[in-house]
Amino acid sequence: MSANQSRINAIAKIIDREPKQYEKLAPLSEIWACDVFNLAAMEEALSKKAFKAIKNTVQTGAALDAATADIVAAAMKDWAMSKGAKFFSHIFYPMTNITAEKHDGFIITNSDGNAITEFTGSLLIKGEPDGSSFPNGSLRMTNAARGYTAWDPTSPAYVMQTANGATLMIPSVFMSWTGQSLDKKIPLLRSNAAMDKAAHKVLALMGETDIAPLNSSCGAEQEYFLVDENFANSRPDLLLAGRTLFGAAPAKGQEFDDHYFGAIPARVQVFMQDFENKLYRLGIPAKTHHNEVAPGQFELAPYYEAANVAADHQQLMMTIMTSTAKEHGFICLLHEKPFAGINGSGKHVNWSVGNSTQGNLLDPGNSPHENLNFLLFCGAVIRGVHLYGPLLRAVIASAANDHRLGANEAPPAILSVYLGDQLEGVFNDIKEGKLVAKGEGGLMDLGLSQILKFERDPGDRNRTSPFAFTGNRFEFRAVGSSQSVSGPLVSMNTMLADSLDWIAEQLAASLAGGADKTAAVIAVLKEIMDLHGNVIFGGDGYSSEWHRVAVEERGLKNIPTTADALPAFKDEAVISLFKDTGVLTTEELASRFEVYSEQYILSIEVEAKLVIDMATTQIYPASIQAMSTLAGTSASLKSIGVELQNYGLQGMATESNAMMAAVGELSTALKKHDHESVEAHMNFSAYTICPLMLEVRAHADALEGLVPDELWPLPKYQEMLFIK
């Protein structure tokens, strides 16, 4: 079958596809969290004493005794089996962006050889997958493979319903036999504990007496592309790398702005409703869906949840999204930049901290006292981003996200904080000392009359800011669409804990010296602005002038690639940050550098091998066939006296030769293995391999415009993006 015939058949299959009908399901009130063993389900299944104990664990993190664990396990098994489950799995999150599962049966046999079911507290609490076969950064060697999963009772278990049956899924941490974190959940739980401890100090100094446990919250907007499987299955680059390594720009892209918030295609709408019904059964609060800016791109935004649960739900959401897309004949692309020249996909992480007694600490209050708390926590974030901006850049670093950061739809690789005109003005007033003594008591005029009636949207949004205050939370806009939100949450929680510890020390010293609370707060905030105010920026983050000012005048770092970003994990200040807060040991942090750098190098090597293979076995043969056909036609016409100006033939020959010369250079470069360090290898990948891949692509994309359409071997952008 010719290449063109394959593409024609793919288009015909899409056009003639019998659309999957939307199945009308039960009302939301009936399906919401029906497959989740949450507190409501546990209250029905457990004794009052056992329920009280597990509720305390879920809400406060208190330890659960073994006897109660046995009771919970038995009830959980009965509940899951009533929904058709015969297997259970500890689900965990290794140091990649994937989700891992190990399935075990409830079944055992008794002495009579009969099958019975059993699920004890010990089975619930602990599992044992291989600890060396997952990326571990030298924490575990191959001959020392024992690893453990351990139940996280603060994230509810659930039953996953698939065509292959139902399985009880138990959210878990993953650690080595030596107790070191091999996953993303343990650091997240530790970072939240560190933030809670530091926040308690500050709030106590501010006179708060009833302080409930603090938690960070997360709402992550998920962007993605949908491509028909008939096209995607004909693209080796999409299947193995998740993005197109070749593809000329179509005549029409996104320049008309006609896709953003446009009418959702019927087939996509059915997929979305099917997908979201599955999310609702699992208690995942999908709230908003719409067309995104690029053709073929869409977004789903959930409601805010506790960070640990939100991180688990994000992983689950990506799993269900990709599997549901297949049911509807789509391939779901979560790559940050699957198509060159049009917008890529991010995962904007909306983050705040609060509790049940003081509320959201990043929400401006209705009284001067509440505003002092708000300003302290906001100031802590400013200090954290300034001190640990390179760390924040490192935790969003990947080969995929490098293609997106700095482009028109994503923030630049310079970490700055956007506050909005109103709030930025308040902090500048504090820095400039515009607050004066007032009254006999020496109270300070906060100059915050505008904040006492603070609107939820005090200023315009800044889409070019990587870290923006949006009324009652900060939005980390630079996170990639395929990434786990745990890494960014860990870093934000930890930098906040560090800043709150510093603030507590300053406040305690000032109050001990006789200052009143208001004066002490203003003094701390002024010092923050003096030391760290350079990180605040409300202008155009894309402008070349900002890039110059940020680096040359403000001392901020422009970190363009993952190769430049990941060494932040080896910085002494970052090592001390994680060690002092108890979030990651020195060895655990070093392991993350090793794992992430290896993932980066391997990702680029896979892409380079694909570029060589596709150029050599698909694109070059197509161009040779096209030249042969055109040359034959030219010779036939010449024999009857018709002379052709073979610009196309000459162009194909030039581009084909140049492409294969670039392929040769890329092949030679890939064989270089004598890198003196991991950093050197990453830099070689970023600054030698990637440019060579782009050179091959430039010639191949030029050939796409010269080779006759019936001979071009790959589905084109105009087909993949616009035919649904």
Residue range 373-382, pLDDT digits in tens: 999 999 999 9
| Beta bridge partners of residue 347, listed in sequence order | 222
Q: Are residues 539 and 574 in the same domain?
A: yes
Last residue of a domain, one of 598, 627, 651: 598
pLDDT at 162: 84
pLDDT at 4: 58
176-180 average pLDDT score: 82
Asked if residue 384 is part of any domain, the answer here is: yes
- CATH number of the domain that 286 lies in? 3.30.590.10
pLDDT at 453: 41
pLDDT at 7 over 70: no
pLDDT at 451: 41
Residues 24 and 444: their CA atoms lie apart, in Å, by 61
The burial class, CB within 10 Å (0-12 / 13-18 / 19+), for 572 is exposed
Q: Are residues 222 and 156 in the same domain?
A: no
pLDDT at 644: 61
Lowest-confidence pick of 240-244, 362-366, 535-539, 559-563: 362-366
DSSP-derived secondary structure letter, 302: E
pLDDT at 520: 92
pLDDT at 136 over 80: no
680-701 average pLDDT score: 97
Is the distance from CB of 315 to CB of 183 less than 8 angstroms? no
Query: What CA–CA distances, in Å, run from 674 to 137, 601, 606, 681?
Result: 20, 14, 19, 9
pLDDT at 703 over 90: yes
Residues 565 and 593: their CA atoms lie apart, in Å, by 10
Residues 697 and 700: their CA atoms lie apart, in Å, by 5
Last residue of a domain, one of 183, 218, 236: 183
Average pLDDT, the chain: 87
252-275 average pLDDT score: 84
Q: What is the pLDDT of residues 407-451, one digit of tens each?
A: 556 667 889 999 988 888 889 888 888 754 333 433 344 444 444
614-633 average pLDDT score: 91
Give all strands (DSSP E) within 137-255, no chain letters.
147-151, 157-162, 165-176, 215-228
pLDDT at 641 over 70: no
% the chain with pLDDT above 90? 60
| Beta bridge partners of residue 299, listed in sequence order | 223, 290
pLDDT at 369: 64
pLDDT at 175: 84
pLDDT at 454: 39
Q: How many CB atoms are located within 10 Å of the residue 536 CB?
A: 21
pLDDT at 687 over 70: yes
Residues 359 and 379: their CA atoms lie apart, in Å, by 18
Within 8 A by CB and 6+ apart from 476, the residues are: 348, 349, 350, 351, 392, 396, 466, 467, 488, 492
Q: Are residues 174 and 218 in the same domain?
A: no
Helix 486-512 crosses helix 517-532 at what angle (to 10 degrees)? 130
Q: What is the pLDDT of residues 72-88, one digit of tens each?
A: 988 999 999 999 998 88
Q: Are residues 156 and 247 in the same domain?
A: no
Q: What is the dihedral of CA 66, 72, 74, 76, to 10 degrees?
A: -140
Based on the structure, what is the number of domains in the chain? 2
pLDDT at 150 over 90: no
536: helix, coil or strand? strand
**Alpha helix (H) residue ranges in 286-367:** 307-327
Q: What separation, in Å, do the N-terminal and C-terminal C-alpha atoms of the chain show?
A: 24
pLDDT at 711 over 70: yes
pLDDT at 346: 92
Q: Are residues 89 and 171 in the same domain?
A: yes
The structure's pTM equals 0.91
Asked if residue 693 is part of any domain, the answer here is: no
Asked if residue 128 is part of any domain, the answer here is: yes
Q: Are residues 153 and 281 in the same domain?
A: no
617-622 average pLDDT score: 96
Q: Are residues 214 and 330 in the same domain?
A: yes
Asked if residue 382 is part of any domain, the answer here is: yes
Asked if residue 610 is part of any domain, the answer here is: no
% the chain with pLDDT above 70? 85
241-263 average pLDDT score: 86
How many CA atoms lie within 13 Å of 560's alpha carbon, on the beta-carbon side?
6
Asked if residue 698 is part of any domain, the answer here is: no
pLDDT at 135 over 70: no
119-146 average pLDDT score: 66
Lowest-confidence pick of 152-161, 550-559, 570-579, 627-636: 627-636
Q: Are residues 135 and 237 in the same domain?
A: no
Ramachandran assignment for 644, one of left (phi > 0), alpha (psi -120 to 50 degrees), beta (any other) = beta
674-687 average pLDDT score: 95
Q: Are residues 200 and 104 in the same domain?
A: no
pLDDT at 142 over 60: no
Q: Are residues 242 and 127 in the same domain?
A: no
| Beta bridge partners of residue 640, listed in sequence order | none
Asked if residue 711 is part of any domain, the answer here is: no
pLDDT at 12 over 80: no
pLDDT at 8 over 90: no
Closest by CA to 503, choosing from 523, 488, 518, is 523
Q: What is the pLDDT of residues 590-608, one digit of tens each?
A: 999 999 999 999 999 999 9
- CATH number of the domain that 49 lies in? 3.10.20.70
pLDDT at 190: 95
Q: What is the pLDDT of residues 460-516, one digit of tens each?
A: 566 778 999 988 999 999 999 999 999 999 999 999 999 999 999 999 999 999 888
Structure-model confidence comparison of residues 128 and 584, the more confident one: 584
Q: Are residues 487 and 508 in the same domain?
A: yes
Last residue of a domain, one of 580, 598, 616: 598
Structure-model confidence comparison of residues 593 and 149, the more confident one: 593
Domain, as residue range, for 128: 32-183
Q: Are residues 434 and 541 in the same domain?
A: yes
Asked if residue 579 is part of any domain, the answer here is: yes
pLDDT at 340 over 90: yes
Residues 14 and 296: their CA atoms lie apart, in Å, by 15
Tokens 């996104």: give the residue. 254
Buried-exposed string 638-671: b where 16+ CB fall within 10 A, e elsewhere: eeeeeeeeeebbebbbebbebbbebbeebeebbe
205-219 average pLDDT score: 94
